[in-house]
Structure 1
């Protein structure tokens, strides 16, 4: 090799033809020369002759040119199908590094640029490229018994090159002896040989924005390439790229990026609302936001909401606190949310006050939560006139863990379930509860005593006199949590979560639109001859029609017992048979009807609770030849023929806006797909397309600088420049610090955790008439009013 290097130093590029390099080697046949020798010749020649690539190599640097036999002591080497440049001066030694890296990949060794030297004007003068296993590793581990792993072996292999006066690079010295094993099949695992093409970057970027987890993005790429060995990157590389991309998006810090994001969203729609709460150090503590569409949805369906903080979504361990409602299709809808740093009364007060300001001081008529005492205290302060209900399902699920140590556990459970679900009147429940407590000697059970004292919050006969839209906080929020499981995880940053919340809203909107379409275009054959069934199908959405249909059919289980008449007033006794845990049960109901104004009431209170007539009422209507549902018993919120304002408001999206590069990439991809469909049937068409694409790639490559690890690959789709998504708007005037990780209260590291009731310093901010937070000083930011502790945006 030393002789070869000396011979190469005297070679002049002018003696060469384009793409072919003639080198003298002292005579003799070289047919039996090892393949790695040819690779070294190619490498050295490329350095000396200052060549750049012309198109993708058809042979690798360590392969002998197929079909050519050296003669007369000379041999020819195809320098990676390169062409000689007589005048080109490289601004750096990037091409040299790429050639040497390709050489190292073929041999199975890592490569790195070790040292370089630049001139006074910043031009590169000298470079040393070495084996990646050069040097000795100095462990930085504090524990000598657990040193960090290293690939360093003290390898001395290296290439030194310098630039000549005419701009050509010359090899000054070469040492190619390695002191370690070389394995070409394992070369792909070295960091220097792992690259991600622009095409792959684009795909995983789009999937990341869509909430697709990285492993679900990576696996299709492996399948598409035909196996792991055919791709030039690992899943870890994709993950690092996405993490770095997220850092680029959040360059000014997670908390500040959120505020900037909110400002941009508000610029798109002035009805976008947000509030940010800071501690005394200017660190983000609580956040609340509602998009313009959700504010309009609240006007329509904000009569009853559920509130739950049992979903853990971001790396700061800030509980996710969504306000969830139900629309006319009985779908869960997101009315606003706020990650909060703690679950104490003060945090909930701040959140509820922010929500109240956002909704123009219109508090919900009812709110459903779990048994959290801090929530209860905050609701009593901020929503004094709102009916507060606890989730019955949540409570009943606790009975086994609280009572399974009693010998008569099964009998106690059956008796309690019967009295809870079977009591129609408050007095009936209270008397039955006392009998059970006394019969099974449960007076000392503090949990049951506390539950009974709060019976007005959870027992059906106590809460059914108010409208609850058939909601349960756990059922509704579990469905929302399950939905978010596909979009976020416990490592999601706050800015990412805001973007994924936006994606969740879009999906919810599409689901609502689909149900609107079905309700307006799909009909059912009536199962009965009653006109009220046909009427229900005409006015109700599909989901509510099915509910009414179930009640209409369910009247077959009802039977008339007796009735009393007092003028136009009727009082009926109705029985109903049903099954409870495999046993036949019978309950008795009372229905009151006034024939003068057709006022009807049943003590099951289904209409008051769910907004739909019960089977007992329907039974009495039919008995009195009332064949249609009276308009006053058709709630507006369940109708399908109502034009609602929120349906005309679209969700403004920042995350889906495309850069010009991305738009161009999308256009080209669409055009390629169309061409592929046209040429997919015949091989000759495919060959025409491939020839055309080869010509296009060859033409484009003439306009590109040879690609390296930090430049787009001409063989792949055009890469997009990563820009800050919020760079088009001014930075907020106040610097907001990223939140500290919230203190965990025994919370397990799962996405949904148990609440405080299941398991075991904020000043109150005042709002003025316009909804702004009132403070001692005003920020200079546009539309930002607040103290150092709190910032809110309101229009």
Structure 2
């Protein structure tokens, strides 16, 4: 079987040359087109990485969070394909680059990530989300040492099911992982789960706990992941890719049709840009000025999320306020839940708001607690300090690439 695979891959030489000529042709039109490949034994291609100019510009704006995993069977050589992606100002998947690797080894991933970093002018992501492949984890630590690595929630739940044959454990583990718990609450839930399911001595569970900073919301709170908890965006992207790429395709056909898929995503983005720029929404809340202000600043998709927060802010109430020369501190509690409180701070000099729920830091949209304070302060225009540029209509204006 091994010799058969080597023979099959030896047929790549002509295919690789054709793909390189294609990329060279693209580079004559797109002067930022980047590609690199390396050869292995018998001068056969081992790994290939490429990224076009718009992908690099998108990464410059939206590359704070990077998601990727490998998929199979999308080319006739059955080489794993790694797609690097993130989310744009419409919370839509955008592609930063792609690679074909000979095998999922630490060496291959390190090479691919080094080419990615070189392509992006040395700018590493702040956060990375993967399926937890060990070789990939080591490569990330070496090439992106300061990036916070988050493990895909879906893969962890699947592993929980396969390692612990107990639906109750999977249910309780999901709560520990995704519920909005404080650290002490998480520890209490975790300990109770171990006792209830009798898995305290299971090595897989112990290793999972040691890596809690990579998956537990209680320990991740405050780190920006753009709302991404799983690599499902990657898998969704692979499904879209399947509409353009077939398993019988060689490298040239794969690269050209992959670019067609990327162009399709960009057409969708251009349509969303148009929808965000024109029209007026039907106002649905009692806080008309704040709702209108959100529409003028956020893209359409993010405005809908902001409006839902605006609608839900009446579920919390402000029960105390301390005023000082530097600002104000508000204590809020949930309706009929006096034991659950939050603290919102407003700094007078900078006009900055912060809440100890840290939703703004984690997702980039103001929480219901901050919005409730805005209403209490009779503010009619959403402060710019609460509008993350990533989610704004003007996210790409400074780069002059809207609609390109």
Residue in structure 2 matching 1:547, options 278, 299, 305: 305
State the shift of 1:422 in Å. Answer: 3.1
Q: Is the 8 A contact 1:293 1:649 kept in 2?
A: no
**Corresponding residue for residue 645 of structure 1:** 399
Residue pairs, 1:155-234, within 5 angstroms = none
Distance, in Å, in 1 between the alignment partners of 2:71 and 2:12 is 30
The alpha-carbon distance between structure 1 residues 526 and 255, as it changes in their structure 2 partners (threshold 3 A), is same
Q: TM-score, normalised by structure 1?
A: 0.47
Q: TM-score, normalised by structure 2?
A: 0.89
**Corresponding residue for residue 714 of structure 1:** none
Residue in structure 1 matching 2:322, options 550, 554, 565: 565
**Corresponding residue for residue 385 of structure 2:** 632
C-alpha distance after superposition, 1:426-482 (max 9, x if no partner): 233123312321343221222221111100011112222111111244221122011
Task: Give the number of equivalent residue pairs.
Answer: 389
C-alpha distance after superposition, 1:167-190 (max 9, x if no partner): xxxxxxxxxxxxxxxxxxxxxxxx
Residue pairs, 1:71-110, within 5 angstroms = none
Match of 1:617, SS state, is helix
**Corresponding residue for residue 419 of structure 1:** 176
Whether 2:352 is the aligned partner of 1:591: answer no
**Corresponding residue for residue 44 of structure 2:** 283
The alpha-carbon distance between structure 1 residues 316 and 252, as it changes in their structure 2 partners (threshold 3 A), is closer
Residue in structure 2 matching 1:510, options 267, 273, 282: 267
Residue in structure 1 matching 2:212, options 455, 470, 473: 455
Match of 1:647, SS state, is coil
Q: Is the 8 A contact 2:71 2:238 kept in 1?
A: no
Distance, in Å, in 1 between the alignment partners of 2:42 and 2:400 is 39
State the shift of 1:288 in Å. Answer: 0.2
Match of 2:231, SS state, is helix
The alpha-carbon distance between structure 1 residues 472 and 337, as it changes in their structure 2 partners (threshold 3 A), is farther
The alpha-carbon distance between structure 1 residues 619 and 322, as it changes in their structure 2 partners (threshold 3 A), is same
**Corresponding residue for residue 466 of structure 1:** 223
**Corresponding residue for residue 26 of structure 2:** 265
Residue in structure 2 matching 1:481, options 202, 226, 238: 238
C-alpha distance after superposition, 1:554-588 (max 9, x if no partner): 223x23374363734424142268xxxxxxx9993
Distance, in Å, in 1 between the alignment partners of 2:377 and 2:104 is 54
**Corresponding residue for residue 5 of structure 2:** none
Whether 2:159 is the aligned partner of 1:402: answer no
Which has the higher mean CA deviation after the structures are superposed, 349-358 or 307-316? 307-316
**Corresponding residue for residue 438 of structure 1:** 195
Match of 2:333, SS state, is strand
Match of 2:108, SS state, is helix
Distance, in Å, in 1 between the alignment partners of 2:198 and 2:42 is 55
Whether 2:95 is the aligned partner of 1:334: answer yes
C-alpha distance after superposition, 1:405-428 (max 9, x if no partner): 4xxx43x44443333333432233
State the shift of 1:522 in Å. Answer: 2.2
Distance, in Å, in 2 between the alignment partners of 1:641 and 1:316 is 43
Match of 1:281, SS state, is helix
**Corresponding residue for residue 309 of structure 1:** 70
**Corresponding residue for residue 606 of structure 1:** 359
Distance, in Å, in 1 between the alignment partners of 2:71 and 2:339 is 37
C-alpha distance after superposition, 1:357-386 (max 9, x if no partner): 001101111111111111110011111111
Distance, in Å, in 2 between the alignment partners of 1:526 and 1:416 is 40
Distance, in Å, in 2 between the alignment partners of 1:496 and 1:337 is 14
State the shift of 1:495 in Å. Answer: 0.8
The alpha-carbon distance between structure 1 residues 258 and 573, as it changes in their structure 2 partners (threshold 3 A), is same
Structure whose alpha-carbon radius of gyration is higher = 1
Q: Is the 8 A contact 1:424 1:603 kept in 2?
A: no
Q: Is the 8 A contact 1:392 1:459 kept in 2?
A: no
| Greater helix content | 2
Distance, in Å, in 1 between the alignment partners of 2:151 and 2:328 is 36
The alpha-carbon distance between structure 1 residues 525 and 551, as it changes in their structure 2 partners (threshold 3 A), is same
The alpha-carbon distance between structure 1 residues 315 and 576, as it changes in their structure 2 partners (threshold 3 A), is farther
Q: Is the 8 A contact 2:333 2:341 kept in 1?
A: yes
Q: Is the 8 A contact 1:589 1:604 kept in 2?
A: no
Q: Where does the alignment leave 5 or more consecutive residues of structure 1 unmatched?
A: 1-249, 578-584, 651-795
Q: Is the 8 A contact 1:323 1:334 kept in 2?
A: yes
C-alpha distance after superposition, 1:634-657 (max 9, x if no partner): 01121113515363685xxxxxxx
Distance, in Å, in 1 between the alignment partners of 2:335 and 2:163 is 32
C-alpha distance after superposition, 1:520-569 (max 9, x if no partner): 1122021123211100001111000001011111223x233743637344
Which has the higher mean CA deviation after the structures are superposed, 448-457 or 257-266? 257-266
Distance, in Å, in 1 between the alignment partners of 2:293 and 2:403 is 30
Q: Where does the alignment leave 5 or more consecutive residues of structure 2 unmatched?
A: 1-10
**Corresponding residue for residue 736 of structure 1:** none
**Corresponding residue for residue 296 of structure 2:** 538
Distance, in Å, in 1 between the alignment partners of 2:339 and 2:237 is 35
Distance, in Å, in 1 between the alignment partners of 2:65 and 2:12 is 40
Distance, in Å, in 2 between the alignment partners of 1:375 and 1:299 is 23
The alpha-carbon distance between structure 1 residues 547 and 418, as it changes in their structure 2 partners (threshold 3 A), is same
Match of 2:70, SS state, is coil
